[in-house]
Amino acid sequence: MTISSVFDMRFSPESAEEGMDLALAIGADMPATTGCTGYDVIRDLADPGHVVIVTRWNTRSEGEAVLGSYFRDPKITRVTELLGQVPTGFLGELADK
């Protein structure tokens, strides 16, 4: 079973480009960590400040370990400043159809 993490962020129009750059950098950091099998950064076509990062993990514990420690990264600090709050997300799995 693949575990995914999802972080949904809405940057102001003034910080949309910097927010996108940070999201891409955050996503690019993940494959080097234990258990990450890939990631996607998705930008809303109608709202360039709306960005979602989806990462995929072998196990829940690997995702939790990396994401828990990653909140100390300077990129997350800057995202928090731009958003006015710590980005929130969750770990989940694909639902059966």
Kindly tell me if the per-residue pLDDT of 96 is higher than 80.
no
- 11, burial (CB in 10 Å: exposed 0-12, middle 13-18, buried 19+): buried
Per-residue pLDDT band at 43 (split at 50, 70, 90): very high
Kindly tell me if the per-residue pLDDT of 16 is higher than 90.
yes
Regarding predicted confidence, which is higher, 84 or 94?
A: 84
CATH architecture, domain 3-92 = 2-Layer Sandwich (3.30)
Kindly tell me if the per-residue pLDDT of 13 is higher than 90.
yes
pLDDT value at residue 71: 84
Global model pTM greater than 0.95: no
Q: What is the pLDDT of residues 47-72, one digit of tens each?
A: 999 999 999 999 999 999 988 888 88
Domain parsing of the chain, residue ranges: 3-92
